Structure formats: C-alpha cells, structure tokens
Amino acid sequence: MSTTPLLQDWAGPHGLPPFADIQPAHFPPAFEAALAEHRAEIDAIAAQPEPANFDNTLAAFDASGRRLARLEHLFYTLAASATSPDLQAVQRTLAAPLAAHNSAVYMHAGLFARVDALHEQRERLGLDAEQRRLLDRVHLDFLRAGARLAPEAKARYAAVMERLAELNTRFAQNVLEAESGYRLLLSTEAELAGLPGFLRAAARQAGVERGLAEGIHVITLSRSLIVPFLSFSTRRDLREQAWRAWVGRGDDTGATDNRAICREILALRAEQARLHGHACYADFALEDTMARRQDAVMGLLESVWHPALAAQAREREAVRGAMAAAGATHTLEAWDWRFYAEQAKRARFELDEAEVKPYFPLERMVAAMFDCASRLFGLQFKPRPDIAGYHADVRAYEVLDADGGLRGLFLQDNFARPTKRSGAWMNALRNQSRALGATPVILNNNNFARGAAGEPTLLSFDDVRTLFHEFGHGLHGLLSSVEYERLAGTQVLRDFVELPSQLYEHWMAEPQVLKTFARHWQTDEPLPDALLAKLQAARQFGQGYETLRYTASALVDMAVHALPDAPA
C-alpha cells in the first residue's frame, strides 16, 4: 500500500492530498485496495450475528468506505478540473469497475436484508429526525440500485450500469476534447474588428497560454470568450464559424462524435427504467424528486415557456430594429442574435459592456461574495496562500465561524483551461460529518477568461452572477451541519439543490453591494449611480431569449426520456 501516496495518510493542511506527488498511474492500485477494503467492511456489517439496529447497520454503513470516498472525491475532481490524456485513460479503465462495485454494494443481499428490516420497523425504532431521514434515503438508494430485483434482472441491471458508466465517461471526454481542440485564431485588425479592449486582452492571454506567437489572439469555446465574441465581432463570417463550433460539440463525424453514444445511453436508460417497472426513464428519474411526476414538470416548464415566447418576440423586434439601423439586409441567423441584441441594448439603455466590465474585477467580486456571506452567516474567510492545490490557479481560504472556530476549507478555481471541462460547478473534496469528525473541503470551479498579464480579470454582470451562484452551492456544503455523511451538503433532492444558490446569486445585484465593491480597477472610482441605474434597467433585456434556450433544452430532455424506447 505504501508504494502510492494515495494510500498513505494525507498529511497536507486540512487533510488535503499531496497533489504534487500524485500521478495518474497511482489511481488503479489505490482503487483496487480501497475497493477490497470497502467490500470487507460491507461483508462484516452484513455478517454480524446481532440483529440489525441503527448503529450497527445504518451508522456503520454510512461510516464505511472512507478510503474509497476520499479517492473518488479526488479522482473526479482532477478528471473535471485538471485532466490529462493519461488520467483520461485511467478514467475510462476504471469507469466499469467502479460502477460494478457500486452495484455489488447496493445489491448485497445480506446488507440489504438488514437495511430493509430496519425500514420495516422504522415507526417503532425511536429514531430522531436525522436518523429517520438517513434510513429513508439509504433504503431508497438500495431500491433504486436494484436491491429488490430478481437475480437475472440484477445481473442485467449491473451490466447496464457498467456500460452507462463507460459511455458517460466517453461522452464527457469527447466534449472536452472538442472544446479544448477548437481555436479561432485572430491576428489582423480586420479579424479583430469590433472587439473591445477587454476581450482583445483576454483573447491575447489565451494565445499566450497556448504558446502562440506574439499578436495572435484566440477565441476558445469557453463561455467567457465565445459569448462576448458573438456579441461584439463585426465579422459575420467569423461569428458563424465560432457559433457552429460552439453548438456542434460532439455532433460531427470525427473522433469526438457523440451521436452513437447518445443513442446507446438513451437505450440503456430506457432499459434501466423498465427493469424498475417504469414505462420510461423520465418516470424513473422523477421518482426521487420533489416534482415526482411528468405532468408537474411539464406544467412548470409550460408556465415559463409561453411568457418567454412573448418576451422573445418583443426582443426579436428590437433586434430587427438594430439590424435595420445598421443597414443589414441578410436573414437573421443564430450567429447574428447576440451581436444585434447587444446593439439593441446599447441603443435602448445607452449601456455598453465595455464600459461596465472595468468596475467588476474578479478580486473585488470575490471580496463582495465573501462579505455577503459574512453579513448573512457570520463567516470569516482567511486566505491561505501557503496551501497548494491541484493547479496554480487554485486559491484556498479557511472558513471560520463568528467565534473563530473552523467551519471548513474553501477552494476556488476560477479560470478556463484546456484541461478543464466547461461550465461552473461546486463539488466536495470532503463532506461534513460530525460522526466522522469531518469538516468540509469545498471547491468552486468557474471558467472565466483570464485577463492580460499584469491586469485583473474583468467580469461581465452575468459572470458576477455565476460567481455568486456557485458560491451559493459552496455555502450549502460549508454550512452543512449533520451527523451522517450521506445527508451532508448538496446531497439533497435534485430539484431542490439549486434553491440556495439561486437565492444567493441575487445578492450580487443589490445596490449596497455594488456601490461598495464595484469599483473601477484603474481609478478606484465606485460604480456611478447613472451606470448602476442602466444596469438595473437592462437586467431583463435578453431574458426571453435566454429563458427559451434553457427551457427548450429541458423540454427536449423530458420528451426524449418520456419515450418508452430510445429514438433510432
């Protein structure tokens, strides 16, 4: 076990792993040992001669697999945020065995018999609210993993889950390869036409990070580069190239083609649902949500869809007006929308994003984010520059209660990289649990375009909202206060998990917050009242279009998963 640092005691600050010493080749033997250890723990719980009780079964199960859990947290963090070809190869190799282990645990007849017996007696056990919640959640975990299926169905279900793990891994890696492999190179003034200074600086920095020659600017598929490029570039031909690359990730005939993978995933999900006795995967997936039924989901989506259609129709008229003002006679295409919407917003509200962004340097917005949490929850955030993360971009902060007691460790990784998946997310390197004596280690990932050397990274208003939103998830993990790890942090129903972050993101637009922290990075001038008024007035412009985009995706997702069989 001592040959890999992953199986040694992690002696870093707050129990962090020795990131600098970890190699992809360390993971297979470490997982082999951790899986064997977990299997032995599960067998021991199941083989106890004493009748099942909460402590010897539920609490023991929650405490089992600690070595495996810390490995998985680390492995999936690196796979998402700092991957490499070697690590991706390991991920593909381990996908099926890890899924097989999960099935073996939750289909373990002896263990499930004990959990099921406790669930049958749940009203007579004298459990407190948290213990009852743990029992209900764990019991449902077993059922949804196939614990009650007949032997032949169990074997097929386990095979389906292994194959899905392989396909989901391949899908995500294909998307990352398509994203990281795309570069729109801009080297002449004609190619840079229309791009404001902040975008030129970020695109030039992207070129520097990719080792390109002096003067070469790069637009990648990172949202913080592609969206402003589509909004400002006057080169319609280049906008079309960039847009097609952005929406076409995984939809090609090359090595990153995900279409066959999608078809197989849908077919296996439909089979998974049938094995559980459901007519379609949507019914199976919704069973463990607050919504529970397709009609509840569709009712919500339709209540959003129709007002968004009306709002988008009004926006379309404004966009067409901007086209007419510019003398454009071509058909309005998807790659034109953001460009002319920006022109329309500028004309209607006299608001220019190039004027706004200097007031939103990243460091000041992080300070605003922390200040809101301090005022709301009494937290203190202590920078720890001495704590090294898995990448030089990672910043560490000790999180303290108002009385100075340790609440947890917060890690923030803000910049886009070719080795990092797109989007923004929160995950845990360690969940909170009083029973395990564990304080949380929580990570936020963003994908902001880094500013030029010697200059700050400037955020858009939407970027600031994303920063606050993800920190809302982070606070959900940091403020967790439970006995049992299974109930910690964001391990809640899927259609609840966004609530804390949706609430927290609204603090970024409060005038008091903006007046205090939104200051020009060069002059230190606070955000002028007139500019703040324009920002507030323009907040809803374009939301019809954006709402249609995400609602349409949700409607398609529901429709395809409501089919009893996968589409051909």
Residue 422 clears pLDDT 50, i.e. is over it = yes
- The C-alpha R_g of the chain, in whole angstroms, comes to 25
Paired sense of beta strands 395-400 and 184-186, if any: unpaired
65 dihedral zone (left: phi>0; alpha: psi -120 to 50; beta)? left
Of 455, 454, 407, give the one whose Cα is nearest residue 432: 407
- Whether 338 contacts 542, CB under 8 Å: no
The amino acid sitting at 149 is L
Instruction: Tell the residue number behind the tokens 């719980």, with chain if given.
Output: 45
Name the burial class of residue 50, with classes exposed (0-12), middle (13-18) and buried (19+) by CB atoms within 10 angstroms of its CB. exposed
Q: Which of 41, 177, 470, 505 is catalytic?
A: 470
Mean predicted lDDT score pLDDT of the chain: 96
Task: Answer yes or no: 353 catalytic.
Answer: no
Q: Tens digit of pLDDT for each residue in 182-234?
A: 999 999 999 999 999 999 999 999 999 999 999 999 999 998 999 999 999 99
For domain 5-106+108-144, give the fold.
Glutathione S-transferase Yfyf (Class Pi); Chain A, domain 2 (1.20.1050)
Q: In the chain, where are the structural domains located?
A: 5-106+108-144, 179-236, 361-517
- Whether 232 contacts 339, CB under 8 Å: yes
Class of domain 361-517: mainly alpha
The contacts of residue 392 (CB under 8 Å, 6+ apart) are none
Would you state the pLDDT for residue 254?
85
- Whether 198 contacts 232, CB under 8 Å: no
Quickly state the pLDDT bin for 2 (edges 50, 70, 90): low
Residue 568 clears pLDDT 70, i.e. is over it = no
Q: CA of 346: how far to CAs of 62, 319, 352, 492, 537, in Å?
A: 55, 11, 6, 42, 12
User: pTM of the full predicted structure?
Assistant: 0.95
Paired sense of beta strands 406-415 and 395-400, if any: antiparallel
Quickly state the pLDDT bin for 1 (edges 50, 70, 90): very low
